[in-house]
Structures are given as structure tokens and as C-alpha cells.
């Protein structure tokens, strides 16, 4: 489990800043519009993450062999990363919605 967590953190660090900027941008627009644009920002975020997924898969093609040698498939990596990022996005939105 520790190897999986360490590997996921290492993989996520390469594009974490970009996803953080996208999440902050979407959350800022959601807050300014008082959650009226939540569905639009959710799908905008999903589309941008799909583009990131495509470029990271192409850019880190050889790096996936390293994770495969550790016993971690590409699908497992992406499932954990996308789930974590979505959970953070929804949690922050829920907290802001509860405050407003």
C-alpha cells in the first residue's frame, strides 16, 4: 500500500499544479455566480482533465512501464488520481456551499 501511495504521489506531482489552477479557476467562477454555473464548470473541468489525460498518457508513455513493474496498471493509476481530484473538487464546493 505504501508503494502504491508513493507512486501515485510521484505521478500526480507532474501535473498537480495544472489541475490545482483549473480547480481554483472553476471554484472561483462557481462562487462568483453563486453555484448557477456549477454544471458548466463541472463539465469544463472534466473536458480539460480529459485533455490532460491524453497528453500525460502520450508524454509519460515510457514511465508507465516503471509503474507496471511495480504491479500498478495504468488504469489503476488514473482511477485513483481522477477519484482523488474529483473528491477534492466536490468537497471544496460542498464546504463553500455550506458557508454561503
- pLDDT at site 1: 82
Nearest to 85 by CA among 54, 50, 39: 50
Torsional class of 73: left (φ above 0), alpha (ψ -120 to 50), beta (otherwise): beta
Band (pLDDT 50/70/90 cuts) for residue 67 is very high
Cell 477534492 found at: 88
Q: Name the grid cell of 10.
A: 510521484
Q: How many CB atoms lie within 10 A of CB 40?
A: 13
Residue 44 is part of which domain span?
Answer: 2-99
What is the per-residue pLDDT for 24?
A: 95
Read off the pLDDT band of 71 (50, 70, 90).
Answer: very high
Identify the pLDDT of residue 20.
Answer: 94
Average of per-residue pLDDT across 59-75? 93
The Cα–Cα gap between 44 and 26 comes to 8
pTM over 0.75: yes
- Per-residue pLDDT, averaged over 59-85, amounts to 93
Q: What total number of domains does the chain contain?
A: 1
| Angstrom distances, CA of residue 49 to CA of 21, 31, 42 | 12, 21, 11
Amino acid at each position: 500500500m505504501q508503494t502504491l501511495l508513493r507512486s501515485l504521489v510521484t505521478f500526480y506531482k507532474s501535473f498537480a499544479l495544472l489541475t490545482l489552477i483549473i480547480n481554483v479557476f472553476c471554484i472561483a467562477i462557481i462562487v462568483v455566480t453563486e453555484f448557477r454555473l456549477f454544471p458548466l464548470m463541472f463539465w469544463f473541468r472534466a473536458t480539460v482533465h480529459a485533455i490532460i489525460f491524453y497528453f500525460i498518457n502520450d508524454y509519460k508513455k515510457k514511465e508507465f512501464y516503471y509503474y507496471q513493474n511495480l504491479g500498478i496498471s495504468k488504469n489503476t493509476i488514473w482511477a485513483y488520481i481522477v477519484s482523488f481530484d474529483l473528491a477534492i473538487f466536490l468537497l471544496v464546493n460542498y464546504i463553500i456551499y455550506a458557508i454561503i
